Amino acid sequence: MKVKILSHTPEPEKVISMAAKLCYSSVGVDEIEENLTEESIDKFLNMLINIGHESPLEHVSFTFAVEGISRACSHQIVRHRIASYSQQSQRYVKLEQFEYIIPQEINEIEEAKELFIASMKKDQEVYDKLVDILFEKHYNNLIKIGKNEKEAKRQAEKKAIEDARYVFPNACETKMVFTMNTRSLYNFLNHRCCERAQWEIRELAIEMLRQLKQAAPILFKSIGPKCVKGPCPEGNMACGDIVEVRNKFKNL
């Protein structure tokens, strides 16, 4: 898995401080900015986050590039609707040899790993055969209606891989770029850093948080699963390791 912050709103903590202070101030942004110091930003943002005034957080966004995740993981990511997503297309990109993610639990058992890899190889073989069969059909039809050879090949391949991709599994590797504002990131991290989150998206969320703490330490210093700042909301389904979880995110 590769996770990288591509860009973010410049001076994120300053921007949020100015936006929030404007709500309570009789003066304009120029005067607000003149009076801001690193110490005052730190103090104000801590107060803002503690009282739960989160709408100013929406003025700051972070854009991530993510590679080496499964389609199973990406399907979970896009359930977070207040965000913008771009994902590698299986409709336009022919996968000559698709990469895949092997869950650790499967990887640790040799028999299970062999079965899994054999299934991935079979999926590739079927995909390749389907592409060939569908390509021939579409190519012949396009030639019949007067397309030149070059254009017929281009359109035929696109049509072929569009349908052949249906055999690819959830394990198929994908790449994404997505942008979330800070408020949406709080929600994402609250849910996906939790021990009850699926392992792959939890690994992604923790790495995102690690990088966010470097980019905007005040905004993200106390963020993590909900149990970091209060009681676990999972009830009878709690992981039971609240002390260990809190220590992990305190030292992240």
Contact 171, 113 (CB under 8 A): no
> Vertex 159, ends 154 and 163: CA angle to 5°?
145
Using the predicted structure, report yes or no on whether residue 137 has a pLDDT greater than 90: yes
Q: Is the dihedral of CA 71, 75, 77, 82 positive or negative?
A: positive
**Residue 156 CB: number of other CB atoms within 10 A?**
22
How far apart CA 130 and CA 124 sit, in angstroms, is 10
> What average pLDDT does this structure show over 149-169?
96
Of 154, 192, 196, 202, which is the active-site residue?
Answer: 192
More confident residue, 171 or 229: 171
Is the pLDDT assigned to residue 225 strictly greater than 90?
yes
**Across 61-76, average pLDDT:** 98
Enter the tokens of residue 245. Answer: 């979880």
- The predicted pLDDT at position 35 comes to 85
**pLDDT confidence of residue 24:** 81
Confidence of residue 251 (pLDDT cuts 50, 70, 90): confident
Answer yes or no: is pLDDT of 125 > 90: yes
Instruction: Reduce the DSSP state of residue 175 to 3 states and report it.
Output: strand
Residue 192 bears catalytic tag: yes
**Residues 117-141, mean pLDDT to the nearest whole number:** 98
Q: Which residues of 42-59 are buried (b: 16+ CB within 10 A; e: fewer)?
A: eebbeebbeeeeeebbeb
* Cβ atoms of residues 80 and 188 within 8 Å: yes
